[in-house]
Structure 1
Amino acid sequence: MRRKRLSVALVVVAGVFAVLAIETLENWSGKRETETPLLLGTNLWLGYEPLFLARDLGHFDENSVRLVECASSSQVIRQFRDNTIQAAALTMDEVLLLRERGLDLRVVLVMDISQGGDAILAQGDVQDLADLRGRKVGVENSALGAFVLTRALQQVDLSVQDVTIVSVEADEHEQMFLSQKIDAVVTFDPVRSRLLAAGAIQLFDSTEMPNEIVDVLVVRADAWEQHRSHLITTLRGWFKALQYLEQNPDEALRSVSLRIKLTPEQIRQSQKGLHAPNLQQNLSLLAGQPSPLEKNSHRLSKVMVENALLGKEVVLSDCISAEPLMEVSAR
């Protein structure tokens, strides 16, 4: 009996030492990655679709990366700021606003650069941008909508004070416009393409503000190491999805069309309005001191300050990191 009790005691002691040894190694390495998935928030935008394509192709699953779909970018921002999600697909102007408010984050990927995908559409009785004076313009309650509208109105010596702003979330753009509750709307694909097909008039698009609307993937600094392997999985899946889009366009577009309710041909046309940099192009954009992306964000910051969209210029030198992409490239 004593021997049996002694054997049990030795097993228990050995188990305790094993646990202590594991914890010691984890503490020594400085990295103890969570087993919970990385929660990544997006709103509906054609440029973000490679994330969902990567998931559908099996490049990551909900045990590693969980995509959280929000009705609007303002919802994505709120959840990211509140730490409901750890990563988010945002525009650079939104990143600058979050940094101004003190949120510590890292920009790790340029997802796309808008080259016509963002636009101002109007009802048939609106002749041009100048004709927006006194009209109702639907704008999402986010930095991007205000930024696009401000840049457009500048062309005709108008300001946002010269129009009637109607706050409209992204998932309401189409319904509000088609029911003629607004005279114009600042929107983006897939809604842009659907409204154009319904007879909307395009007054302005992002080709007239080149390299100013850049979509990026950001991660909270406090989740940087905690979800490192999940982040690498996300990046690797993203580039595999881009490759699949290029090599198997018909199959890929059929998959995307089911999600965003555009025909494959409409998607092909919409793709002309954005550029998704590949891995090497991304490395070129994010690497360097200062990186090309940082230089671009500095110019954007100045424009936003000049138009009262930022209280002060924001520098992103400590927030842009090519390190995860370098890890993807090395494997």
Structure 2
Amino acid sequence: MIKGIISGLLLPLLAMLMVGCGPKKVEEAVTIAINPWPGYELLYLAKQKGFYRQVGANIELVQVSTLSDAQRAYLTGHVDGFASTMIEAIQVAPLGGKPIKIVLLADYSDGGDVIIAPTSIENMQALRGQTIGCEVSSLGIFVLERALRQHQMQLDDVNVINVEQGAAVSALALGKIAAMVTYPPYSVEIQSSGAYRQLFSTKEIPEEVLDTLSISSSVLAEHPQLVDQIHQAWQLTLDYMRQHPEEAMAIMAKREGLQVAEFKEALADLKLLSSKEQHKLFVQRDKLTQLGYSVCETLVKIGAIESDCLHVDNLFYQVP
């Protein structure tokens, strides 16, 4: 009888000990929406090479088509964060989204974002009175406004319609639009026919379009090591690219649907930022904050958002 009682007590205890000695529970994945763009491919390369796992992070990347889609996925609560330009990140608060922090500064667009038109249109001035396609709710309208301003025009001088990146080729071919604000890999496809020319690129507005990674503030509170882990994985990926350039380029080009030479050319129009360069920007916040306010004020001016822009002060991750 006593033996049976002892046995009955020991079995549950042994079961508890066996559970305690088993594999540790894997933390729930942090999900990030990401659209096609050469700079964001480093995030995928880090995943494929196991760098997130190596630094202890559990990250899942959710593929979407456009910057607007990435932002929308976050606003609707389907993901914990998203890759985008600073424009989409700044819009989150005015659009009622949950608070975010920009935690990674991937690259500056240094010619990657462009305005493309048929070869019959010689310059930006020739677009006066014409219909131009862009992603009205995100980066496209910002780039268009800055391009027009650079060439002594404003949005009222053109007709603007919303055209998703995937529909740009047909919209241009059918004459629905005279020009399109676009970026790789979509811009590469458009220009491959030889029937179009580039009227403007972000080379004319250096360091104004900053590509970023934003994560929900509440998720960051639950994962205090996440930002450091992301930066470690990012630097491991940059190092891997330098050590194995051909393999890395082939992997990233394939995912973007581009030839290796095309991908290399597109990547050359970006200024990738190392973790050290990013840390300097995060610590010396004046440049980031000034750029944030400039972007926000432009978005307010063109009616893309309604805001006093004060949320920009708390948008960037505070380095400990």
Please tell me the TM-score bracket, short chain as reference: 0.7 to 0.9
Counterpart code for 1:4: G
Partner-residue secondary structure (3-state), 2:92? helix
C-alpha distance in 2 between matches for 1:114 and 1:89: 14
Matches within 5 A, 1:116-127: 116-127=111-122
Which residue of 1 is the match for residue 198 of structure 2?
Answer: 202
> Which structure 1 residue ranges, 5 or more long, are not aligned?
20-32, 327-331
Please state how far the C-alpha of 1:133 moved relative to its aligned partner: 2.4
Which residue of 1 is the match for residue 45 of structure 2?
Answer: 53
Which residue of 2 is the match for residue 28 of structure 1?
Answer: none
Give yes or no for the alignment of 1:36 onto 2:28: yes
Partner-residue secondary structure (3-state), 2:52? coil
Which residue of 1 is the match for residue 300 of structure 2?
Answer: 305
- Alpha-carbon distance change, 145 to 15 in structure 1, aligned in 2, over 3 angstroms: same
C-alpha distance in 1 between matches for 2:135 and 2:299: 17
The percent of aligned pairs where both chains have the same amino acid is 26
Please state how far the C-alpha of 1:6 moved relative to its aligned partner: 5.3
Matches within 5 A, 1:65-76: 65-76=59-70
C-alpha distance in 1 between matches for 2:279 and 2:63: 27
Partner-residue secondary structure (3-state), 1:321? coil
Please state how far the C-alpha of 1:321 moved relative to its aligned partner: 1.6
Would you say how many aligned residue pairs link Structure 1 and Structure 2?
A: 310
> What CA deviation, in whole Å up to 9, does each residue of 1:39-67 have, x standing for no partner?
11111111101011112222236x92111
Please state how far the C-alpha of 1:170 moved relative to its aligned partner: 2.0
> What CA deviation, in whole Å up to 9, does each residue of 1:8-35 have, x standing for no partner?
3476589899x9xxxxxxxxxxxxx972
Contact 1:110/1:216 (CA < 8 Å) preserved in 2?
yes
C-alpha distance in 2 between matches for 1:286 and 1:38: 22
Q: Which has the higher mean CA deviation after the structures are superposed, 111-120 or 75-84?
A: 75-84
Contact 2:110/2:203 (CA < 8 Å) preserved in 1?
yes
Counterpart code for 1:82: T
- Alpha-carbon distance change, 259 to 239 in structure 1, aligned in 2, over 3 angstroms: same
Contact 2:86/2:292 (CA < 8 Å) preserved in 1?
yes
Please state how far the C-alpha of 1:150 moved relative to its aligned partner: 1.0
| Matching residue within 64, 68, 71 for 2:58 | 64
Please state how far the C-alpha of 1:3 moved relative to its aligned partner: 4.7
Give yes or no for the alignment of 1:260 onto 2:256: yes
Please state how far the C-alpha of 1:156 moved relative to its aligned partner: 3.7
C-alpha distance in 2 between matches for 1:100 and 1:232: 28
Partner-residue secondary structure (3-state), 1:237? helix
> Which structure 2 residue ranges, 5 or more long, are not aligned?
20-24
Counterpart code for 2:317: S
Counterpart code for 2:295: L
Which residue of 1 is the match for residue 22 of structure 2?
Answer: none
Contact 1:136/1:183 (CA < 8 Å) preserved in 2?
yes
Give yes or no for the alignment of 1:92 onto 2:86: yes
| Matching residue within 167, 170, 193 for 1:172 | 167
TM-score, length of structure 2 as denominator length: 0.86
Counterpart code for 2:80: Q
